[in-house]
Amino acid sequence: MSLVEDLRRTALQLAWRFPAFGIAVVHLRYVETTEIPTAAIGVDGRCYWNPEFFASLTPAERIFVLAHEICHLLLMHADRRGGRQVDLWNFANDYAINGGLVAAGVGDRPDVGLFPPTEWEDLSSEQIYDELLRKGVQAPPTPSATNGCGLLGAQGNSKALPGEVTLEEARQHNPKWQQVRAQAKHIGTMSGNEVLEKLFDIPPARVNWRNVVRRGAALAQAAQGYDAVSFAKRGRRSAAVGPQFPGWIGSQARVALCVDSSGSMYNDVPQVLAEAAALSRESEIAVFCVVHDDGVVWEGWFRPNERPERMQKAIARGFGGTCAEEAYRLVERQGRFDVFVHLTDCYLEWPAPPKNCRKIIIGRINSSEPALEGARVFDVQVG
C-alpha cells in the first residue's frame, strides 16, 4: 500500500473516532517527501510526510500526528504569527496543540514532539511564546526532528518545499479554514468532547503591536523625506535654526523605541520587541530599543536576523516603579533619530525630552494621564 493510501486510511480512522476533524480531512492532500524529517503542513492543505517517520509510528500515533497537523490550520497559526520569530512560534504552537490533543484523548502521543509542562497546559500559543522568550529558549529551525513539525507558508515568502505556498498565497486560504474551524467546533460540541471543542478556540487578539510600532516607523520615514530637503535648505540659509546634528540628513530612517515595562505593558514587552525586530528586518529601518522601569532594564539595536533570546533580559525583570530619565538620556547618546516613540502608561515624572529626536510620540497605554508636553500622543488599550 502506498503512503498516500495509508494516510487516507489514517484520516478515515481519525474522522470516524473524532468527527470534528472530518471536514478538515476532506481538504487535505498528502505529499510523500524526504525533505523533512517528520511531517509538516501547508496552508493550502498539502500535508507532507516523511515515509520513514510514518512507518515508525503505530496507527494510533499516526492519528495523533495527523490531527496535530490539521490543528495548525484550524488554529490559524500562520495568520496569528504577526512579527513573532518563526521557529519559536512553531515551537509554541506545537506545545499548545499537543497539550490539547493529549487532554482530548486523540490517538496516542508519539515519542517525538513537544509536550507542554503541566503549568502551560491551558496557555495559548501566544502565551507559551512569551514564556519561551522569557526563558531564553532557542528553537532550532523547523521543520526538524527535535522541533516538532513546520507550519509551511508561515515563513514569509521562502519556498522550502516543492509546491509550497507563500504566506501571501496563504491568505487566500484563510476564509476556508475559518469556516472549517467553526464547523469543527460545532461538531466537537455535538460529540460531547469539550476539550476538543476548546482546542479549536482562538484567544482574542491582543493589541496589534505591529501596527503600533509601524505607526512610529511610518512617521520616521515621512520625516526622512521631508527633512532631507527642508532642513538642508534652512541650514544653508541660516545658522540660527536650532540644534543641528552631524549625519542628520541620512538615508536610513532611524527610530528609537522606548518601552515602559512597569505597568500593564509588562506582559506585552516580548511581543513589542519581536515586532520591532521584525519591522527592522523588513523595512531596513534601524530601531534602537530601550526598556525601562525604574531604570534601564535592557537596551539594544535591532538588526536583521535578530535572535529573540538576546531580549530575554528585557523581560526577565518584574514590575517596579517608573523613571524614564535614564532611558531618555541613553537614547540621546545614540546619535540622531527621526522618531522617538515611548510606550508608557504615563504614570511618571516626565524627564526632559531627548534632544536628538525630530518627532516625539507617546503611545499612552491604558491611561488618561497627561503625556510629555509637546509630544504627539496616541492612545492604546491593552486588554
Give residues in contact with Zn ion (CB under 5 A): 94, 148-149
Q: How far is the CB of 363 from Zn ion (least distance, A)?
A: 34
Asked if residue 293 lies in contact with residue 320, where contact means CB atoms within 8 angstroms, the answer is yes
Asked if residue 114 lies in contact with residue 131, where contact means CB atoms within 8 angstroms, the answer is no
Q: Which residue is nearest to Zn ion (CB)?
A: 149
Q: What's the rounded Cα separation, in Å, for the pair 96 and 123?
A: 7
Q: How far is the CB of 86 from Zn ion (least distance, A)?
A: 13
Q: Is 240 helix (H, G, I), strand (E, B) or coil?
A: coil
Q: How far is the CB of 280 from Zn ion (least distance, A)?
A: 28
Q: Nearer Cβ to Zn ion, position 70 or 291?
A: 70
Q: Nearer Cβ to Zn ion, position 83 or 110?
A: 110
Asked if residue 25 lies in contact with residue 63, where contact means CB atoms within 8 angstroms, the answer is no
Name 362's bridge partners: 342, 377
Amino acid at 238: S
Cβ-based neighbours of 78, under 8 Å, separated by 6 or more: 43, 72, 151, 153, 154, 167, 170
Residue identified by cell 515519542 is 111
Asked if residue 67 lies in contact with residue 21, where contact means CB atoms within 8 angstroms, the answer is yes
Strands 254-260 vs 46-49: parallel, antiparallel or unpaired: unpaired
Q: Nearer Cβ to Zn ion, position 103 or 382?
A: 103
Q: Nearer Cβ to Zn ion, position 148 or 270?
A: 148
Q: Nearer Cβ to Zn ion, position 149 or 323?
A: 149
Q: Nearer Cβ to Zn ion, position 107 or 148?
A: 148
Q: How far is the CB of 94 from Zn ion (least distance, A)?
A: 4
Q: How far is the CB of 52 from Zn ion (least distance, A)?
A: 18
Q: What's the rounded Cα separation, in Å, for the pair 42 and 46?
A: 5
Q: How far is the CB of 72 from Zn ion (least distance, A)?
A: 6
Q: How far is the CB of 62 from Zn ion (least distance, A)?
A: 15
Q: Nearer Cβ to Zn ion, position 65 or 272?
A: 65
Q: At what angle do helices 125-135 and 86-104 cross, to 10 degrees?
A: 120
How many CB atoms within 10 Å of residue 113?
A: 21
